[in-house]
Amino acid sequence: MGKLSMQNPKNNNNDDDDTERRRLLELISKKGLKVLTRAELEHLQILLELKDYRTNEKANKAKKKLLKKMNIAIYELYDNNT
């Protein structure tokens, strides 16, 4: 009998999240935060907050800086819609 390939759905979700995080980060690195919708910004914010960069000090610092910019962009989008 062959072995059944059982994938852990949690790992698939993590892979999907990593792919989505990379896609959105690539977009903003090329075109800036303004190209993302409010929903995309909020989704990326969650994905970044979940990603652990503590072992890479430079990446962790960049993450914090980007999250600050994203918070401002999200606030501005909320403010413009009201």
pLDDT for position 82: 66
pLDDT of residue 9: 44
Full-model pTM = 0.78
Amino acid at 55: T
Largest CA distance in the chain: 62
| Nearest residue to 63 (alpha-carbon basis) of 39, 47, 40 | 47
Q: What is the pLDDT of residue 8?
A: 41
At 36, which amino acid appears? L
Sequential pLDDT tens for the chain (82 residues): 444 433 444 456 789 999 999 999 999 999 999 999 999 999 999 999 999 999 999 999 999 999 999 999 999 988 887 6
